[in-house]
């Protein structure tokens, strides 16, 4: 993810509303106790997700890829007062920690945390979803899109994370293309060519594909 100029990124973060105590705690614990802490959304992206959610005021949010709960809490802060967020993850080893963070957030009654394979769970969900944050296994991004597009509200948004994949989508350096890069290239083109949506690929952190259903 560290392919953007660090000084420029730091400047952006320094001109972004600061994390509160809970988000700082989640960041600290993730960095010291959890494998692959770079997977956390973090301060800059987290505030972006929170602001998008507050603008959209969604009634139902779906998140694929809970990790330690940082992004879920940011997204949930923009929910309609009667709204809910469904977040899905396959890693049950983090469940106790994540549920604890959700309780501390004061929004646990609005967060439906599910463990399991999203490919199996999504077909069981009725929708419609007003906002989707896609941050799960990259090889299935296109399959997730196919499962979700008909469950997305007209005017609803999907935000797909990591779509620049540390710059590998344009700079392979002569290396053989790995399966994740290939999958993301396919997903980005799929979105770009789909007449049902309008979209923008944002160079935010590791890249966020933002699309709106027409």
pLDDT of residue 138: 97
Q: At what angle do helices 6-14 and 42-56 cross, to 10 degrees?
A: 50
User: What is the DSSP annotation of 107-161?
Assistant: -GGGEEEEES-HHHHGGG----EEEEEE-S-GGGHHHHHHHHGGGEEEEEEEEEE
Residue 174 confidence (pLDDT) above 80? no
Q: What is the CATH number of domain 6-213?
A: 3.40.50.150
pLDDT of residue 75: 98
What is the rounded average pLDDT of the residues 4-24?
Answer: 92
Residue 3 confidence (pLDDT) above 90? no
Question: What is the pLDDT of the chain when averaged over all its residues?
Answer: 95
**38 band by pLDDT with thresholds 50, 70 and 90:** confident
pLDDT of residue 183: 97
Pairing relationship of beta strands 111-115 and 84-89 according to DSSP bridges = parallel
Partners of 200 in the β-ladder: 210
**pTM across the whole model:** 0.95
In terms of Cβ atoms closer than 10 Å to its own Cβ (0-12, 13-18, 19+), residue 16 is middle
Lowest-pLDDT range of 4-13, 60-69, 95-104, 170-179 = 170-179
**Percent of the chain scored above 70 by pLDDT?**
96
Spatial contact of 143 and 169, defined as CB atoms under 8 Å apart: no
pLDDT of residue 8: 87
pLDDT in tens, 156-167: 999 999 999 988
Spatial contact of 199 and 212, defined as CB atoms under 8 Å apart: yes
Spatial contact of 70 and 49, defined as CB atoms under 8 Å apart: no
pLDDT of residue 177: 84
């Amino acid at each position: 993810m560290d392919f953007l100029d660090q000084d420029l990124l730091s400047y952006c973060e320094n001109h972004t509303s600061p994390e509160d105590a809970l988000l700082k705690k989640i960041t600290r614990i993730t960095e010291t106790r959890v494998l692959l802490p770079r997977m956390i959304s973090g301060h800059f992206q987290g505030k972006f997700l929170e602001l998008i959610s507050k603008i959209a005021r969604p009634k139902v949010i779906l998140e694929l890829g809970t990790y330690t709960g940082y992004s879920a809490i940011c997204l949930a802060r923009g929910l309609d007062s009667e709204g809910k967020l469904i977040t899905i993850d396959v890693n049950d080893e983090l469940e106790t920690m994540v549920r604890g963070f959700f309780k501390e957030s004061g929004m646990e009654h609005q967060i439906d945390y599910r463990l399991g394979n999203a490919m199996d769970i999504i077909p069981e969900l009725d929708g419609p979803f007003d906002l989707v944050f896609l941050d799960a296994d990259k090889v299935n991004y296109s399959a997730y899109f196919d499962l979700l597009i008909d469950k997305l509200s007209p005017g609803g948004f999907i935000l797909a994370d990591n779509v620049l994949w540390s710059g590998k989508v344009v700079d392979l350096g002569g290396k053989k293309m790995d399966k994740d890069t290939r999958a993301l290239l396919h997903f980005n083109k799929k979105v770009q060519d789909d007449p049902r949506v309008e979209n923008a690929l944002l160079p935010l952190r590791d890249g966020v594909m933002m699309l709106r259903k027409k």
